[in-house]
Amino acid sequence: LPFPNSRAYSLVDSSQVSTFLISILLIVYGSFRSLNMDFENQDKEKDNSSAAGSFNGNSTNNSIQTIDSTQALFLPIGASVSLLVMFFFFDSVQVVFTICTAVLATIAFAFLLLPMCQYLTRPCSPQNKISFGCCGRFTAAELLSFSLSVMLVLIWVLTGHWLLMDALAMGLCVAMIAFVRLPSLKVSCLLLSGLLIYDVFWVFFSAYIFNSNVMVKVATQPADNPLDVLSRKLHLGPNVGRDVPRLSLPGKLVFPSSTGSHFSMLGIGDIVMPGLLLCFVLRYDNYKKQANSDSCGAPGPGNISGRMQKVSYFHCTLIGYFVGLLTATVASRIHRAAQPALLYLVPFTLLPLLTMAYLKGDLRRMWSEPFHSKSSSSRFLEV
């Protein structure tokens, strides 16, 4: 939802440029973190088993959630119910929702910081895990990243600064892209098409039913600070915990313009959902590269040029995401109103991907079983 202020009118300004760059970096980083997790899982499986298998896009890691067709169909319905609950009962659930969001953001931001902490602690200490009893075993890098994340969340609760909120939202985006998987192009189309209808309805048509733009109101409504609520409940006095600001929850990225007259806002769903598609095509590009190397570089269909074969699905879809985000921003500036970003992002990402898959002859495989190896039996015979 690029959300401009009508007092300042231009097609693109510094806040939109920041939104473009950050959202693209988050998607790319989250996708490669997801692919790296696949590689790590493969290495662990090779260490634990003497039987070698082909690349499997559906990881066996228990922490990874794969969306199936049923979940893809019902996710927009569940999101609509959650949106209505936040719209009608926000005053009742805002404290619980703020605490739950802060906990999730702490874990997600720790995941975002983990590679940096691993790099910093590698020369100083071995990567041995330290036992904390029933809490589990953790490396020094994991403890450092979690401590920094807790510190950041506490500062955000005390100050409510938009930059800290953006940092937590970035962690949520990367974690969701890395830990949630789309198994096929069919599920991707079902999920993104349903969310497109969800986004369009709640932005454009909810005002006719509820006399208010439900999506914009929920996204921009600040919540009471838990410290302030705790102070009032415990009667700690007027000067204890009363000067903390209300919190804008990290469900979006917010960037101020250079003049400070308005903010550009993009919901994390507009980053995560296309990001899941980009993560899927990146994994498929890697799978296809491995399959081609195993078959000694077998050429593609005869009607496709070599230059077309070299274009990856990931780069094609990423360019489509950028063009769609640019189109959404220009539309919001022209109409001076909030726009459902998925209305532009879904066609600009899915249509080029479907077209390229059809031209390359991969559409049927990507649609149903993209990571299923037909030659698995012969590979096991070779072993």
Task: Give the catalytic positions in this structure.
Answer: 199, 270
Please give the radius of gyration of the chain, using alpha carbons only, rounded to the nearest integer: 23
Q: With both helix axes pointing from N to C terminus, report the angle between 162-179 and 90-121 in degrees, rounded to the nearest 10.
A: 80
Write the burial class of residue 91 (CB in 10 Å: 0-12 exposed, 13-18 middle, 19+ buried): exposed
Residues 266, 20 contacting (CB under 8 angstroms): no
For 261, the 3-state DSSP assignment is coil
Tokens of 353: 């991907």
Residue showing tokens 């662990």 = 44
Residue showing tokens 């500062």 = 155
In this structure, what DSSP letter does residue 62 have? T
Q: With both helix axes pointing from N to C terminus, report the angle between 162-179 and 140-159 in degrees, rounded to the nearest 10.
A: 140
Asked whether the CA dihedral 268, 270, 271, 272 is positive or negative, the reply is positive
What Å distances lie between residue 281 and 80, 98, 185, 234, 326, CA to CA?
A: 28, 34, 9, 52, 22
Give Cα 59 to chain centroid, integer Å. 18
CA angle 192, 193, 194 (to 5 degrees): 90
Tokens of 129: 């895990």
- Which helix (H) or strand (E) is 14 found in, with range? helix 14-48
Using alpha carbons, select from 91, 101, 103, 87 the residue that is nearest to residue 224: 91
Residues 354, 320 contacting (CB under 8 angstroms): no
Residue showing tokens 């599920």 = 187
Tokens of 109: 């931001």
